[in-house]
Amino acid sequence: MVDRLIGRIDRIPLWLAGAAAVALVLLIGSVDFFTGAQLSISVFYLLPIALVSWRTGRIWSYTFSGASATVWYVANLPGNLEMGFSQATLLWNALTRLGFFLIVAALVGSTRRLLDRERELAATDPVTGLLNHRAFFRVARIEVDRARRYGHPVSMIYIDLDAFKQFNDQYGHMAGDSALQAVAQSIKGKVRTSDIVARLGGDEFGVVLPEAGLDAAEAVAAKLQRSVAESSAQVDPAIALGMCQGVVTFLQAPESVDQLVGMADQLMYAAKRSGRGGIASQVVRSGSEGLQSSPEVT
């Protein structure tokens, strides 16, 4: 229930959320003016303050809190003067309201940042910093749905490092983690910002290339092959990790992310059967079509 409410708030355009918060503060201030100082409704200012604090950063939330405190002060000024409050009392009351608003803004903002951090950690592989398996499927599903909607091709590269278990056994898991980090950074450096990169397993990586045909995907795979060998050699000059890759391109979007990953995985295993450092690639015309019996292996 709470997650659904948060999701709806996050989907509100930022300009609309800001306009709604301003309008709400002015409405509350108008009601505050007509009800007078004897009836306090300052607690209702917290709703727009919380909205701004949730959707923006510290500077905007604190600025909005100050503006809300100013609206409260102006709305209550006539009534407070009629009741004979001194200027010092009015100032003190305004400052206490401002402090209260700022505390709420800080708490809401901190809660939002903690939630974002937890979401990031839940979606990130702790070793490489790439998307993890679960987050990859969630993000890739969005791209597959978009490809189906607009009739664009979509490609995927499934990567498996060669003899990585032996590497770990010989050099230790710390060196293995360093090598995985180098591989991850190498992959990220050779793809577009719109491409989806994830660690799918121990030494397996996946790259989804939206709107990319087979030629473009094969070119990326070739660059990755060279780059990963170079980056792993930087960890240890005596080692140049190789990898096998399966490259699949759907001219029409697959029926599911599972199908996209499954076919790329099959091609990767076809590349492994041909020896180390192989790349197996194939075009699939539609999601209802399977892989050919003999993919192209280079």
pLDDT tops 80 at residue 1: no
Q: What is the mean pLDDT of residues 91-113?
A: 91
Work out the pLDDT band at 295, boundaries 50, 70, 90.
Answer: low
Regarding predicted confidence, which is higher, 119 or 199?
Answer: 199
- The domain limits of the chain are 2-123, 133-297
Residues in CB range of 272: below 8 A, 6 or more apart: 160, 244, 278
pLDDT at 10: 78
Picking from 12-16, 34-38, 43-47, which range would have the lowest pLDDT averaged per residue?
Answer: 34-38
pLDDT tops 90 at residue 115: no
Length of the chain: 298
Regarding predicted confidence, which is higher, 27 or 292?
Answer: 27
End-to-end Cα, the chain, rounded Å? 51
* % residues pLDDT > 70 (the chain): 90
CA distance 6 to 204: 34
CA distance 201 to 222: 22
Regarding predicted confidence, which is higher, 275 or 108?
Answer: 108
pLDDT at 140: 92
Annotate 17-72 with DSSP letters as a single string.
HHHHHHHHHHHHHHHHHHH-TTS--GGGGHHHHHHHHHHS-HHHHHHHHHHHHHHH
pLDDT, one tens digit per residue, over 227-282 is 877 766 665 555 567 789 999 999 988 888 999 999 999 999 888 887 777 889 89
pLDDT, one tens digit per residue, over 130-181 is 999 889 999 999 999 999 899 899 999 999 988 777 777 777 878 888 888 8
Annotate 93-157 with DSSP letters as a single string.
HHHHHHHHHHHHHHHHHHHHHHHHHHHHHHHB-TTT-SB-HHHHHHHHHHHHHHHHHHT--EEEE
Rounded to an integer, what is the distance from CA 282 to the centroid of its chain? 30
pLDDT at 169: 77
Could you tell me the two tokens for 111?
Answer: 């809660």
pLDDT at 290: 60
pLDDT at 163: 75
pLDDT at 90: 81
pLDDT at 119: 74
pLDDT at 236: 58
Regarding predicted confidence, which is higher, 116 or 54?
Answer: 54
Q: What is the mean pLDDT of the chain?
A: 85
The hierarchical CATH code for the domain 133-297 is 3.30.70.270
Question: Does the CA dihedral 208-213-218-224 come out positive or negative?
Answer: negative
